[in-house]
Structure 1
Amino acid sequence: MAAAALFVIGAAPGQLHAQALPSLSSDEPVLIQADEVEYSDQLDIVIARGNVEVAQGPRIVRADTLTYNRRDGIVTAQGNVAIVEPDGSVLFASYAQLDEELAKGVARDLRARLADQTLLAAAGSTREGRFTRMDKAAYTACELCEETPDRPPLWQLKADTVTHDEQTRDIVYRDATLELLGVPVIYTPYFSHPDPTVDRRSGVLAPTYRSNSTLGSRIDVPYHIVIDPSSDATVTPIWTTDQGAGLGLEYRRVLDEGAFSLEGLIADASDEVDRDNTRGYIAGRGRFDINRTWRWGFDGMWAGDDTVLRVYDISNRETLTSTLYAEQLNGRDYALIAGYWFQGLRSDQVQSRLPIAVPMAQWNQLGAPGAGPMGGQWRLDSSFAGLTRREGTDSYRMTVDGGWNRSFIGAEGGVYTVATGLRGDGYMVDDVQDGTRTFDGTTGRVVPEVSLDWRLPMVRSDGAARQVIEPIVHAVLSPYGGNPTKIPNEDSRDFEFDETNLFENQRFAGYDRVEGGPRVSYGMRLGHYTGDGGQITGLVGQSLRARADDTFSPGSGLDDKVSDYVGRVVVTPDPNLNLYYRFRFDKDTLEPRRTDLGASWIVRQASFDLSYILLQADEELSPEDADDREEIYFSAGYDISDDFKVFGSLRRDLENERSIDHGVGVAVDFDNCLYIVSEVRRSFSRDRDVQPSTDVLVRVVLRTLGGTY
């Protein structure tokens, strides 16, 4: 029969699974389409030949020839057999036979392209119940070469037998060998991994090799544990050649009201680190909703010794901050109550002198624009801080700060903003140095403040481009003498004068120091904006005061009546190129006191990042610490192809003419089936057991076998 034929058959109920051959037992009718179809009423057999296609629901079987024995319930397919599964998997065979109940079935020369585009091939296949067994099988996630499909893939896993359990959804290998380019490299009597239908599964993840001068060679072999749908854990045994073994742990859990994670490490240590011969750390983070506006959380870390985090490549932080907090976000209002604990990791830090901040609380309220008195906007900020130490100063501070502001536009187009504020601070302190004596007791201050800010934005349009010039004058009036020696400075030590706080009423980031006296800041903001998104912006300015203020240390740029010049320039011709320059020039000599210069550029396959920083030392520091800082950092990456990337970085101390660290690396993705990242980094830092070393990292991931990338 030369004409195409179409045949519809009713069948009994049944089900097909991912690795099974299709059953025609189902309530759905079976649609058979072929060049030629024969049906024998006496034998109850359907025979289809030529471009045979059998469809039952979403499942399709194609073959050169297909025989369906309705009496025995057996389907036999021969020649270029292809079975398309509902999950996207495609099975190929030269011959396949299966009964209607899926209890027994066989196939020869089985090849399968699974739903995740991996390949599985076997000389023969037999199905018994929920198990499908494949003999002389091979598995790979690599694409075969179209020109020479017989050439071995980049990697493949060969085994005498491979068994798929459709109930547990495991694929189990017996007497398996891993081959790279056809060369056996690893043998294991047993190996298993989940089939493509599994999203999460416990198992070994890709190991990582590292080396440095302190640990020697190091191998991390993480094991991922799926506990339930909302939680999992990772256990990472660590082996080192110079300091023994270690164990890393990480636990993660998602709850209806939030999520949290915990991690830690315990490891052997050399005698120079800890006489108990153990070291480690613990850390955790979590955040949970209490109701629509309130939430609470924690974020903390504790290290068993000062250098363990750097030795095991966990963190480079010099001070660890742990906090437990609850906060409210309600419209314009914000409330916080928290506690903080600090751990110092520098050699010059004494733990007993670091504070414990409990409690720390603040409440900020902001009125709607125009809803305050005289059409302005009101604010009310209050805070409380309690700091205690085992050795040194204890202090408790209560602050209430209220204010009002209103903006209006003058006849010449200038924008005027008038603001008033009244702040009160109350302190109860213990062991504060008041000159040559120690003070214990209560003290406080009241700081009234009035400010006027004037800006005149002028805009010029030239086609699609726009230029903006905006002169700014900001004047503040407040009394002198707001920083008596009885008030300790706990939160305003790290002060830096720059363009970000040039026009602020109070330039200190904390509460313990206030800026007083009449003062005026002035400057100019410039901008050029092109029609295609490019822009050039700049700001330069200076501050004047009625008299010098010794609240600011020498070298800060604000200690004299006339401040240094501060500003910035940002050039962004397009989204892929960004240049910036931040500066502070000496008011008399125009000598750079601070320079922060940087550039980032992405062009085709390449990316570059360059930064240069110059900081003149604060003259208030001791001579041995009063060193200028001049440093340059450069990093670059280049995509040789979509699958081959190289990268590197360099950090150098120009003041002392020495490298801080530098390194190079490569990341290669071979055919989307094998990923290798390797990096070599040289560090020149010295700190107790941290010595200059060459660090090496290598990580190899076989797609679908214990790793993602």
Structure 2
Amino acid sequence: MRIKLPQRFLLSTLTGVACSSSPAIALAQTGWMACPVPTADAAHEIQRPSHLPPQAVYIEADSALFRSQGISTMSGNVHISQANKTLQADQASYEQPAGIITGSGEVSFSSDNMQVRSRELHYNLPQNTGEMLAAEYYLPQANGQGVSKRVVQESPNLTRLDDSTYTTCPVNQADWSLNASTIKLDHTQERGTARNATLKIRGLPILYLPYFSFPLTDARKSGFLWPTISTNERSGLQLSAPYYWNFAPNYDLTLTPTLLGRRGLQLGTEVRYLTEKHHGEVNYVLLPNDNASDKNNRYYFNVHNDTRLGATSSLQLKAEGVSDDQYFVDLGNSLEATSVVNLERRLEYRTASDNWSFSSLLQDYQVLDGGIAPHAKLPQLLLRYHPPRKGNGLNLDAETEYTQFSGSTTETNGTRWDFVTRASKPFVTESAYIKPSLTLRHTEYHLDDTDNTHISRSLPSASLDTGLFFERNIKQGRYIQTLEPRLFYTYTPYRDQSNIPVFDSSARSLSYNQLFAENRFTGKDRIGDANRLTASVSTRIQSPEDGRELFRASIGQMYHFDERKVTLPDEAPLQGNRSELILEAAGEINPRTRLSTTAYWDSKENTVNAGEVRINYKDDKKRLLNVGYAQRKDNFESVNLSFAVPVNQNWKAVGAWEHDLQNDRDLETVIGAEYESCCWKTRVASRNYLLPDNTTRDNAVFVEFELKGLGNFGSGTRDLLQNRVHGYE
């Protein structure tokens, strides 16, 4: 079984290897405006008698002289049809028994592959060959059209166009076109090829192509992708010319040589595959000689493979790495890339049945910031057991994990075995629920190079989760409002865990969901002591017709009855008998505007310790506005804004801005513009962003052209704008 990979937009030049892109795919992916489609002549509306066999020749005309042998002549609104071919002409002749037709005057000819208007036609119906002079043609599959000095139907599936143009724009408004001495349309291979072609934008020649291939459908074919171009201060001008090999519908390879103006020549390789049992991709980028640094043979690799071993078993490989710590700082094009601090390598096996699941993990990291490397897990074995629910509603489950932590040169290495079992029993009615739960955890450590090589810990935890559910109709039943009070109590006794190393535990950030968690730490190396109660209430407003949530608000707080003593190394115990009051709200201000906010209120100091507000606006005119504000007391304060505004039918302004209010500095600024017609688009964006050293800034410029039916020429400007402007399409 072979499965097709995702579609690529392709270009072939110079080498003569055919390539592909798809108008249908382009329309779906980028939301093209609709170009006008040439309409059929009124004569084409003549109804061919339904009882005629497909190969029968049907003729209508105002006047005619028919002969059983030799040449018959017709004039005035001539209509000739056979099977999928139709001719309309002012004058025409038909030769028997050869089946040759000629047409003159205003001639229109159509078949499954194309529609042609010309002043003269000669066509052999049995052989499906012929020629048309001074022609205008239209290709329904590709929505492509143009004019040609001569159209020659060399065989049923091969058409030649001499001294012709090709475009997916309206002929009388061809914003772009290919002008070629010869264009061949292979309807079987679903591709067109042009020789001695010139690509024109608004009539201005911009690129000469000795040989060029373009798609007639969405079939993927080998060849050059459109080159990409961009620039930034660290690498200078970047010019890439990717070449794509389509080995099979489920295998392909892309080689991307890139000239970095300040650094040298870089080669990227991408292999993708998709089979019934395996799918994944392999990426490798190599810069052999970096002229802008003292580092050579700089590389990046990324491997991702998923293998299905059976109905319930799978194997997953993910591995990423670079040659040196500064690779992303020097060669990355975004704030996210330059902020990467470690790269993961993992191999994981999973299997499961109805009542249990098992996984085995090998995991390691490459650290890029010179900090402490996380422990490697070589291996981690995890078994979960979920027996069927008892008839009395009792839920039981158990989990055991064995992990060997290694690879750290500064921290303790060793093994950890952890076992946890849980029991719970929910009691539920239509308006209330209560769910008691009991958890028992036992953990064993065997440590390397320490005085205390064996450590064990056993801890129980108990919790009680209760809630009520009320609802009422408002606005004469147009909406339903709910009120949902909830109490959550949990208790875990204190155990001194200061002698236990921290392999994978960290403190959880306080959030609304964390109010209902039993443990305030992640991982298994710290089990926080707890004797606390969470009280919260939520309300929602919903539409009963479609269940759409129009508004939601929640407020909650934790109350501690004992001091919290368990800590991470070098951290002081948490103080206070209650947490911050957490408020969350989200809803529609109107059908075009949505507001969401979160706030952490310190009721003792009467201050907001942290908060976030987001407003998203989008209307039917495709106007977008996103405004956000976030702050954490004595830590950071920032504001961000992004927008996309149509200036007129064709032009759109796009931008994004993020500002650090605490330090009065811009973190990132993106400003761009987009022009769109029914057959081409162009985007340009300028980006300025702060590098990880918090001092140096980089500037980058991105330009992209997207020609309907020919793919896009540029540098991923659309992806940049989609990532920075929420809702941008």
With the length of structure 2 as denominator, give the TM-score of the two structures.
Answer: 0.83
Q: Which amino acid aligns with 2:672?
A: G
Which residue is 1:33 aligned to? 60
Matches within 5 A, 1:54-453: 54-87=80-113, 89-100=114-125, 102=127, 105-115=130-140, 116-128=142-154, 132-144=159-171, 149=172, 153-165=174-186, 170-188=191-209, 190-197=210-217, 199-267=219-287, 270=290, 273-275=293-295, 277-310=296-329, 311-313=331-333, 315-316=337-338, 317-328=340-351, 330-331=353-354, 333-346=356-369, 348-350=370-372, 353-368=373-388, 371-372=389-390, 374-392=392-410, 393-408=412-427, 414-431=432-449, 438-439=450-451, 441-453=453-465
Cα separation, 2, equivalents of 1:555 and 1:191: 68
Structure 1 residues 283-302: Cα deviation after superposition (integer angstroms, max 9, x where no partner)? 12222322222222222211
Map of 1:484 onto structure 2? 497
- Equivalent residue for 1:15? none
Answer whether contact 1:593 1:615 (CA < 8 A) is retained: yes
Deviation, 1:81, is 2.2
Distance 2:64 2:249 in 1: 50
Report the CA distance shift for 1:203/1:575 in structure 2 as closer, same or farther (over 3 A).
Answer: farther
Corresponding letter in the other structure for 2:220: R
What is the match of residue 21 of structure 1? none
Paired residues for 1:654-665 under 5 Å: 654-665=661-672
Counterpart of 2:426 in 1: which secondary structure?
strand
* Deviations, residues 656-675 of structure 1 (Å, cap 9, x unaligned): 111111111122222x2222
Contact 1:203 1:706 (C-alpha < 8 Å) held by counterparts: no
Letter of the 1:199 counterpart? A
Query: Deviation at 1:69?
Result: 0.8
Contact 1:430–1:440 (8 Å) recurs in 2:
no
Gaps of 5+ in 1: 12-25, 432-437, 618-627
Structure 1 stretch 309-318 or stretch 154-163: which is displaced more? 309-318
- How far apart, in 1, do the equivalents of 2:154 and 2:508 lie? 75
Q: What is residue 607 of structure 2 aligned with on the other side?
A: 591
Task: Give distance in 2, aligned partners of 1:659 and 1:642.
Answer: 32
Name the structure 1 match of 2:642: 635
SS of 1:513 mapped into structure 2: coil
Distance 1:674 1:526 in 2: 48
Which of 246-255 and 630-639 deviates more? Answer: 630-639
What SS does the corresponding residue of 2:514 show, helix, strand or coil?
coil
Q: Distance in 1 between matches of 2:631 and 2:67?
A: 93
How far has the Cα of 1:196 moved from its partner?
0.9
**d(CA) in 2 for partners of 1:256, 1:559:** 56
* Residues 349-403 of structure 1: CA deviation (Å, up to 9, x unaligned): 25xx4322222232333345xx337432112222232221151321322222111
For 2:610 and 2:402, the matched residues in 1 are separated by 34
- Matches of 2:665 and 2:655 in 1, distance apart? 18
**Aligned-partner residue type, residue 354 of structure 1:** P
Residue type at the aligned position of 1:366: H
- For the structure 1 residues 333 and 539, does the alpha-carbon distance in structure 2 shift closer, same or farther, using more than 3 Å as the test? farther
Q: 2:484 aligns with which of 462, 470, 476?
A: 470
Residue in 2 that maps onto 1:600: 616
Look up the SS of the partner of 1:514 in the other structure: coil
Assess, with a 3 A threshold, how the Cα gap between structure 1 residues 245 and 259 changes in structure 2: closer, same or farther.
same
Asked which structure has the greater CA Rg, the reply is: 1
The residue identity in structure 2 corresponding to 1:705 is L
Q: 2:77, 2:572 → 1: CA distance? A: 85
After TM superposition, give the deviation of residue 273 of structure 1 in Å.
4.3
1:549 paired residue among 562, 565, 582: 565
Residues 20-65 of structure 1 show CA distances to partners (whole Å, capped at 9, x for unaligned) of xxxxxx9822222333343113x43333333233332233222223
Q: Please name the residue that 1:22 is paired with.
A: none
Residues 551, 559 of structure 1: 8 Å contact kept: no
Write out aligned runs for 1:648-687 (5 A).
Answer: 648-670=655-677, 672-687=678-693
Tell me, in whole angstroms, the C-alpha distance in 1 between the residues paired with 2:79 and 2:605: 88
TM-aligned CA deviation for residue 75 of structure 1: 1.8
Cα distance in 1 between the residues matched to 2:100 and 2:471? 83
Tell me the distance in 2 between the aligned counterparts of 1:565 and 1:556.
22
CA contact (8 A) 2:504 2:524 kept: yes
Residue 18 (structure 1) aligns with: none
TM-score, normalised to structure 1, is 0.85
Amino acid aligned to 1:64: D
Q: Unpaired runs of 5+ in structure 2?
A: 1-44, 719-729
2:531 corresponds in structure 1 to 518
**Greater mean deviation of Cα atoms: 134-143 or 73-82:** 73-82
Structure 2 SS opposite 1:309: helix
Give the Å deviation of 1:409.
5.0
How many angstroms apart in 1 are the aligned matches of 2:169 and 2:516?
Answer: 60
Q: Within the alignment, does 1:701 sit opposite 2:706 as a pair?
A: yes
Across the aligned residues of Structure 1 and Structure 2, the Cα RMSD in angstroms comes to: 3.2
Letter of the structure 2 residue corresponding to residue 120 of structure 1: G
The range that moved more, 208-217 or 157-166, is: 157-166
What is the Cα deviation at residue 137 of structure 1?
A: 1.2
The residue matched to 1:549 in structure 2 has which SS?
A: coil
Query: Is residue 119–residue 140 contact of structure 1 (8 Å, CA) maintained in 2?
Result: yes
2:230·2:700 contact (CA, 8 Å) conserved in 1? yes
Higher relative contact order (CA 8 A, sep 6+): 2
Q: Distance in 1 between matches of 2:56 and 2:490?
A: 86
- The 1-side partners of 2:637 and 2:48 are apart by 83
The aligned amino acid for 1:203 is: G
Mapped partners of 2:277, 2:236: distance in 1: 44
Cα 1:525–1:159, aligned 2, differ >3 Å: closer, same or farther?
closer
Q: 1:163 Cα deviation (Å)?
A: 3.4
One-letter code aligned to 2:121: A
Partner SS, residue 647 of structure 2:
strand
Which amino acid counterpart does residue 367 of structure 2 have in structure 1? G
Matches within 5 A, 1:551-590: 551=567, 558-573=574-589, 576-590=592-606
Is the 1:453–1:472 Cα contact (8 Å) retained in structure 2?
yes
Cα–Cα, structure 1 residues 36 and 426, in superposed 2: closer, same or farther, change >3 Å? farther
Residue in 2 that maps onto 1:621: none
SS of equivalent residue, structure 1 residue 501: helix
1:46 aligns with: 72
Write out per-residue CA displacement over residues 161-206 of structure 1, whole angstroms, 9 at most, x where no aligned residue.
3334556555333332222222323223x12214514611122222
Give me the identity figure in percent: 20
After superposition, the Cα gap between the structure-2 partners of 1:195 and 1:506, relative to the gap in structure 1 and judged at 3 Å, is closer
One-letter identity of the residue aligned with 2:704:
R
| Corresponding residue for residue 612 of structure 1 | 629
The residue that corresponds to 1:622 in the other structure is none
> Given residue 679 of structure 2, which amino acid in structure 1 is its aligned partner?
C
Conserved? CA contact 2:565–2:573, under 8 Å = no
Question: Structure 2 vs 1, CA of residues 451 and 10 (structure 1 numbering), >3 Å: closer, same or farther?
Answer: closer
Specify the code of the residue in structure 2 equivalent to 1:681: R
- Whether contact under 8 Å (1:5, 1:36) holds in the other structure is no
What whole-Å deviation, never above 9, does each CA across 1:307-335 have from its counterpart, x for those lacking one? 43352437343322222212235456443
Shift of residue 215, structure 1, vs aligned partner: 0.6
